[in-house]
A and B are shown apart, each in its own frame.
Chain A
């Protein structure tokens, strides 16, 4: 199975900060990676697919990059609404797998 390692697992940041989350795959997955945002008690929300394509309706301050085994999610300037957990997911090979998550909290 393909393992996804997210870092950091926890991040404390302030409104206005630029934030970067990394996701590393245990083997190459081309660009078959998505990013989701999840708030407590809610279903995940798609932000980025194909490693870098912004989902319709997702704010433009979110961006994704990477290919192969190294991927990043960047939030250009944190807003209060962005404090949440973020997960990467590989859709290259079954079984599909998720990263362990990154919780972004207010400093």
Chain B
């Protein structure tokens, strides 16, 4: 039972354009959502998060959008840079659960 799903295993975007990574969830108890970035041979690193009381959170080139009615969140990267090439995981937690549930990941490749 995959509660957090990233349906696109990979995404290729040209440098300077917008990258949009998508994530869907099924558990209506999730109230906090995060995006992590992972380079090869390294551990994931926290990128940006959003609480369910918001529908948008922005940090520099990164913006996360949350659509609670659709149980969908997305990460926008503008403009995309070669260093953004990595695997991106979305994750979710429910209040009091003390743990995160991760999606399968999307490999983003930024082409020069």
| Chains A and B form a bound pair | no
Binding site for A on B (CB under 8 A): none
Binding site for B on A (CB under 8 A): none
